[in-house]
């Protein structure tokens, strides 16, 4: 790792102000993704702001009937929370489908949202990558693309977002609460939180420099049956080729979000009207405009079949 | 650190794993991949299993760290260590300290009712099946392939605890 200085922040506003003063600084919470990237010198922050002591580790009921999840709630604790298991099964399932027990014990709610892509060319510092080094080019295009995006990609980047948790939160219409460097709080709907790569794949979220996530809120429970179906190359501890977060109601209506296919959790609300007609028309509408590569064209078929399997299970 | 207070001055870059091995001479915890992919560095911090290679020593001031040395010693083995010996839950032994620390903490997670990817009913208490054990131990790789014996060792200890 490159040398860095280290501080422990005492309040969210102070953390945000400190980060704004030192634009190359990084917040560190669980550290499981950041330290990995620092060892590889993909991330080289000169300063770390440890936010573990901020007390943002509670899960509380909101007055609207939903849940407010502190930014520092560990993935283990969120998945084990009785209310999450009972009312937001899709979220508990998504969390448990990701990483390992050791990583979930450290990984936080905000950190999970902010984790970086696992595109192999992002990780290989000997290769150009627009995300790692803006303007250097994309080695993934024309390279080994089996794991990479099939929709929403650009000429600059075909990476995918690796999170399972975020896919479930997209299906649930969560809201990300933040505090900016000037102390102003804001609420960002999850639908607008992660960006598509476009010409600036190194800018991955709607966060401003220094802006600090304090919580994620979930709206009141949707009822229905909850599913998170993850298809991957091994049975555990692997990133998704395709994953589906779904909440299906008794009348066949519902919500569907996809992981493993795009630069952000992929959901097309208009396509959900097709759900009672089955997986084929629904997935055709969700993945309308997909431009898969030769290596990952299978994901389009796999997504449709995975949704078919979820809908079959929902019917019982 | 294993029940004792230890004072250390380290470079900010020092991982907990390097602090254990290079500064405190607790070399039971192993460095395999150093990237959170193999599990050989697993230790318990405040009772929870984590990868000590993916956390900084400076982030653990005041925390209680338990390593394989703190679980048991020759002549006074932890039941999980004894069960690994009895069931031949290793071949080369390199992943074993991490496997044992992970197993001990994992059984506590099941006891606390925490679900896993292998848990069929999220609202019921998890059952101690081989499928549950395999899923919950997927963060510890054994390249000698002693997995079936590791599951046997864990199952025996869990049965005794139940």
The answer to whether residue A108 scores a pLDDT higher than 80 is: yes
Contact A31 B35 (CB under 8 A): no
Strand pairing report for B42-45 and B48-51: antiparallel
pLDDT band at residue A197 under the 50/70/90 scheme: very high
The answer to whether residue B69 scores a pLDDT higher than 90 is: yes
* Residue of B13, B59, B109 with shortest CB distance to A52: B59
Q: How far apart are CA B114 and CA B108, in angstroms?
A: 9
Q: A230: how many CB neighbours lie within 10 A of its CB?
A: 24
Which tokens go with B39? 């599990």
Q: Where are the alpha helices (DSSP H) in A148-218?
A: 165-172
Q: How far apart are CA A114 and CA A33, in angstroms?
A: 9
A247-262 confidence digits (pLDDT tens): 999 999 999 999 999 9
| CA-CA-CA-CA dihedral for A184, A190, A193, A195, to nearest 10 | -170
Would an 8 Å CB–CB cutoff place A225 in contact with chain B?
A: no
Q: Are A96 and B115 in contact (CB under 8 A)?
A: yes
The residue-averaged pLDDT of A217-230 equals 98
Contact B135 A236 (CB under 8 A): yes
Q: How far apart are CA B34 and CA A301, in angstroms?
A: 37
pLDDT band at residue B162 under the 50/70/90 scheme: low
Locus of tokens 């599951």: B151
The residue-averaged pLDDT of A202-212 equals 96
Would an 8 Å CB–CB cutoff place A48 in contact with chain B?
A: yes
Q: Which residues on chain B are in Cβ contact (under 8 Å) with A32? A: 36, 51, 54-55
What's the confidence (pLDDT) of residue B160?
Answer: 80
Sheet strand arrangement including A254-259: A225-231, A242-248, A254-259
What's the confidence (pLDDT) of residue A291?
Answer: 98
Locus of tokens 């069931």: B87
pLDDT band at residue A80 under the 50/70/90 scheme: very high
Q: How far apart are CA B31 and CA B77, in angstroms?
A: 23
* Max Cα–Cα distance, chain A, nearest Å: 58
Would an 8 Å CB–CB cutoff place B15 in contact with chain A?
A: yes
Q: How far apart are CA A144 and CA B101, in angstroms?
A: 37
Helices B79-86, B96-111: crossing angle, 10 deg rounding? 120
What's the confidence (pLDDT) of residue A316?
Answer: 87
Q: How far apart are CA A178 and CA A294, in angstroms?
A: 40
SS3 state of residue A100: coil
* Residue of A4, A50, A237 with shortest CB distance to B138: A237
Distance to chain B for A132, nearest Cα, Å:
19
C-alpha distance from residue A137 to each of A121, A147, A169 (Å): 11, 19, 31
Contact B116 A31 (CB under 8 A): no
The CATH number of B16-71 is: 3.10.20.30
The residue-averaged pLDDT of B53-57 equals 98
The residue-averaged pLDDT of A103-116 equals 98
Which residue from A240, A250, A248 is spatially nearest to A299, judged by alpha carbons? A240
Distance to chain B for A89, nearest Cα, Å:
7
Contact A103 B15 (CB under 8 A): no
Nearest CA in chain A to B120: A93
Q: pTM surpassing 0.95?
A: yes
Q: Cα angle at B99 between A165 and B93, to 5 degrees?
A: 140
Q: Give domain limits for chain B.
A: 16-71, 79-161
Contact A89 B122 (CB under 8 A): yes
The residue-averaged pLDDT of B86-97 equals 98
pLDDT band at residue A293 under the 50/70/90 scheme: very high
Distance to chain A for B83, nearest Cα, Å:
22
pLDDT band at residue A240 under the 50/70/90 scheme: very high
B139 contacts: CB under 8 Å, gap ≥ 6: A99, A100, A101, A102, A103, A237, B39, B42, B51, B102
A24-50 confidence digits (pLDDT tens): 999 999 999 999 999 999 999 999 999
Q: Are B17 and B31 in contact (CB under 8 A)?
A: yes
Q: How far apart are CA B124 and CA B122, in angstroms?
A: 6
Could you report the predicted ipTM of this complex, rounded to two decimals? 0.98
* Residue of B51, B115, B135 with shortest CB distance to A102: B51
B94-145 confidence digits (pLDDT tens): 999 999 999 999 999 999 999 999 999 999 999 999 999 999 999 999 999 9
In this complex, how many residue pairs, one in chain A and one in chain B, have their CB atoms less than 8 Å apart? 98
> What phi, psi does B50 have (nearest 5°)?
-145, 165
The CATH number of B79-161 is: 1.10.150.120
What's the confidence (pLDDT) of residue A23?
Answer: 86
Q: Are A285 and A181 in contact (CB under 8 A)?
A: no
The residue-averaged pLDDT of A290-303 equals 98
The answer to whether residue A57 scores a pLDDT higher than 70 is: yes
């Amino acid at each position: 790792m490159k040398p860095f200085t280290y501080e422990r922040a005492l309040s969210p506003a102070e953390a945000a102000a400190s980060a704004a003063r030192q634009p190359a600084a990084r917040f560190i919470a669980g550290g499981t993704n950041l330290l990995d990237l620092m060892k590889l010198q993909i991330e080289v922050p000169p300063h770390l702001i440890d936010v573990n002591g901020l007390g943002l580790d509670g899960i509380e009921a909101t007055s609207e009937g939903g849940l407010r999840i502190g930014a520092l709630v560990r993935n283990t604790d969120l998945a084990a929370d009785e209310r999450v298991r009972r009312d937001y099964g899709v979220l508990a399932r998504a969390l448990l489908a990701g990483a390992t027990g050791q990583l979930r014990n450290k990984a936080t709610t905000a950190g999970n949202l902010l984790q970086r892509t696992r595109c192999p060319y992002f990780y290989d510092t000997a290769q150009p990558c627009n995300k790692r080094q803006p303007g250097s080019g994309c080695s993934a295009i024309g390279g080994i693309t089996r794991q990479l995006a099939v929709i929403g990609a650009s000429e600059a980047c075909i990476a995918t977002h690796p999170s399972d948790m975020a896919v479930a939160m997209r299906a649930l219409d969560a809201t990300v609460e933040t505090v900016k460097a000037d102390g102003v709080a804001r609420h960002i709907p999850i639908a607008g939180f992660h960006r598509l790569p476009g010409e600036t794949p190194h800018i991955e979220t709607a966060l401003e420099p220094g802006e600090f996530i304090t919580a994620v809120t979930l709206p009141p429970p949707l009822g229905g049956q909850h599913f998170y179906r993850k298809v991957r190359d091994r049975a555990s501890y692997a990133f998704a080729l395709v994953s589906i977060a779904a909440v299906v109601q008794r009348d066949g209506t519902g919500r569907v979000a996809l992981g493993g296919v795009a630069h952000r959790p992929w959901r097309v609300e208009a396509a959900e009207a097709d759900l009672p007609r089955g997986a084929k028309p629904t997935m055709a509408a969700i993945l309308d405009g997909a431009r898969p590569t030769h290596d990952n064209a299978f994901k389009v078929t796999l997504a449709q079949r995975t949704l078919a399997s979820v809908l079959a299970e929902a019917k019982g | 650190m294993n029940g004792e207070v230890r004072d250390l001055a380290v470079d900010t870059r020092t991982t907990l794993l390097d602090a254990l091995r290079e500064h405190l001479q607790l070399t039971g915890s192993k460095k395999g991949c150093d990237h959170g992919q193999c599990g050989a560095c697993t230790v318990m911090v405040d009772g929870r299993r984590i990868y000590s290679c993916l956390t900084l020593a400076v982030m653990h001031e005041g925390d209680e760290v338990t390593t394989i040395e703190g679980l048991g010693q020759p002549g006074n083995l932890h039941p999980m260590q004894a069960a690994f010996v009895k069931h031949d839950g290793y071949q080369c032994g390199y992943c074993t300290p991490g496997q044992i620390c992970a197993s001990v903490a994992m059984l506590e997670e099941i006891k606390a009712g925490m679900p896993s990817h292998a848990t069929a009913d999220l609202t019921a208490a998890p059952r101690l099946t081989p499928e549950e054990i395999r899923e919950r131990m997927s963060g510890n790789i054994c390249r000698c392939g002693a997995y079936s014996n590791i599951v046997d060792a864990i199952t025996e200890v869990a049965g005794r605890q139940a």
